[in-house]
Amino acid sequence: MKVRWGPAVAATAVLTLASVLSAPTASASVQAVPVPAEQAICADLFDGVYSVPSSEPLARCQWDMALINADAATRARATGTGVRVGVIDSGVDINHPDIAPNLDLATSCSFVRSDDPAILAGLASPTEAGNGNCTNKAAVQDVFGHGTHVASIIAAPVNGIGIAGVAPQATIVALKACTASTYCFGYAVADALRYAGDHDIDVVNMSLFADPYLYYCGNDADQRALMRELQSAARYAQQHGVLLVAAAGNQSTDLRHPILDTISPDGPEDVPITREVGNNCRVLTAELPGVLTVSGTGPVGYPGYTTNIASYSTVGGDLTAPGGDYFAASNTVQDAILAAVPPNSALFGQLDPLNARFPGITTRSGAATYAWLNGTSMASPHVAGVAALVVQLHPDWSPSAVAAAVRRTAAPMSCPPDWAPQFPGDERLRCYGGSDGHTSFFGAGMVDAAAATAR
């Protein structure tokens, strides 16, 4: 999961949102703007650039859904009805009105254990531990907010509240492997994958990397053992009909040509070391065999925005989707992705006091709360949602056939013109390819809900 906010810079203030989030806030009082105020902000920014993709109150803000054609015409063909999407993440807000109607709480489960390193270190609450006992529904509750945001991108219903997801009638199954600490340990991810295989889940989204390493290297015995366990769990899920979708990562690296790992080991008691890595090392879950790996873009098509690849996005994956990129196009936080967050979550608490500086960064409509976030965490669920639409139309297809259809129908994207690394430590040294429609930055291109559902 890891909220690595990346180097998105507000050009006018030369101020990163990361520095704002790490700074003490003056007040924790609720300052979320009401829906009409958010609508006005988005109308000013996006009208005439993007179509309005649904009738939902905040649809004008969903440039991401307009960009991938997750709109009324697509919903006339497929909505995700009957498709089950597992979200391996920090749980979901089981009471959020843009989550609860599509949530299968009975099947949802927390795989966090009581001896999770983050809980033992006091960084997460023991109440988040379900220990795989799926009768403990309180443990599924999203304390951090990340999983709720991801799940609503996939399947927020068209219900007159807030936003619409890509597959607004798909069923969400929350598979909790991450705590409010943002740690997502590999044991819990592996358990969630096996559970998905046993419980008729069609698609699984993984907007995370599996701790305690970013890169798992085959020449280290401990890392190799953990890597094999995750690979085995992923293979089990795939053999039981599950399509796996994963975020590429927010480290501004190239999965095909890794250089340095400065994050691992990544446990609460660990001291990261800087090490050289090569192609014997894998980012997991992004580089699990058979996974659809997704990079992120900002608001492609916005006037003057030509870089397209998000400032933080790791590249070298299979395809691309909107992940948002604070301040990259319109110089506002609305360049990120608007989706649901729980009102009492850590993320909402961090972001809500920032409205005076960044108007509309959080929004409230009664009990429903929303926030603008960016990351490949936000890109991946767009692809998972499109995959759910394909599964609805082709329920007998194998996971690999669904993945092939999603890749084949993506809209090709060209390498950014005159690309050069954007900041110190940017390992995306060059963008290459394009002769066959594929590039190293964007893979097969921008996921396209309309093309994927065209018969």
User: pLDDT of 8-24, one tens digit each?
Assistant: 322 222 234 554 454 44
How much is the average pLDDT of 349-366?
A: 95
- Tell me: the pLDDT tens digits for 268-310? 999 999 999 999 999 999 999 999 999 999 999 999 999 999 9
Please tell me whether residue 102 adopts helix, strand or coil conformation: helix
CA 445 to chain centre: 17
Rounded CA separation 307/311 (Å): 9
Half-sphere exposure of 439 (CA within 13 A, CB side): 23
Instruction: Give, in order, the Cα–Cα distances in Å from 343 to each of 94, 246, 293, 408.
Output: 12, 26, 30, 39
pTM score, whole prediction: 0.95
What is residue 205's three-state secondary structure? strand
Question: In 10 A of CB 48, how many CB atoms?
Answer: 8
* pLDDT at residue 429 is higher than 80: yes
User: Distance between CA 14 and CA 327 in Å, rounded?
Assistant: 11
Q: Which amino acid is at 367?
A: A
- Render pLDDT for 387-412 as a digit per residue (tens, 0 to 9): 999 999 999 999 999 999 999 999 99
Mean pLDDT of 411-415: 97
Q: What is the pLDDT of residue 238?
A: 98
Average pLDDT of 364-369?
91
Q: What number does CATH give the domain 9-453?
A: 3.40.50.200
Alpha helices in 93-168 (DSSP H): 117-120, 146-155
How far is Cα 392 from Cα 396, in angstroms, rounded to an integer?
A: 9
Give how far Cα 177 sits from Cα of 12, 133, 205, 254, Å: 39, 13, 12, 26
Q: What is the mean pLDDT of the chain?
A: 93
pLDDT at 27 over 50: no
**The predicted structure's pLDDT at residue 26:** 42
Three-state DSSP state, 416:
coil
The CB-side HSE value for 336 (13 A sphere, CA atoms) comes to 28
Nearest CA-CA partner of 168 in 341, 2, 385, 321: 385
Q: Around Cβ 257, how many Cβ atoms within 10 Å?
A: 15
Model confidence pLDDT, tens digit, residues 87-146: 999 999 999 999 999 999 999 999 999 999 999 999 999 999 999 889 999 999 999 999
Assess whether pLDDT exceeds 50 at residue 437.
Answer: yes
For residue range 62-86, list pLDDT tens digits in order: 999 999 999 999 999 999 999 999 9
Q: Is 70 exceeded by the pLDDT of residue 25?
A: no
pLDDT bin (cut points 50, 70, 90) of residue 31 is confident
Q: Report the distance separating Cα 453 and Cα 355, nearest Å.
A: 38
Residue 312, CB half-sphere, CA atoms under 13 Å: how many?
33
- Token pair, residue 419, equals 């690309």
Local confidence band at 166 (pLDDT 50, 70, 90 cut-offs) = very high
Contact present, 36 and 139 (Cβ < 8 Å): no
pLDDT tens per residue across span 213-240: 999 999 999 999 999 999 999 999 999 9
Q: Which residue in 307, 286, 318 sits closest to 410, CA to CA?
A: 318
Q: Where are the domains of the chain?
A: 9-453
Give residue 13's pLDDT. 28
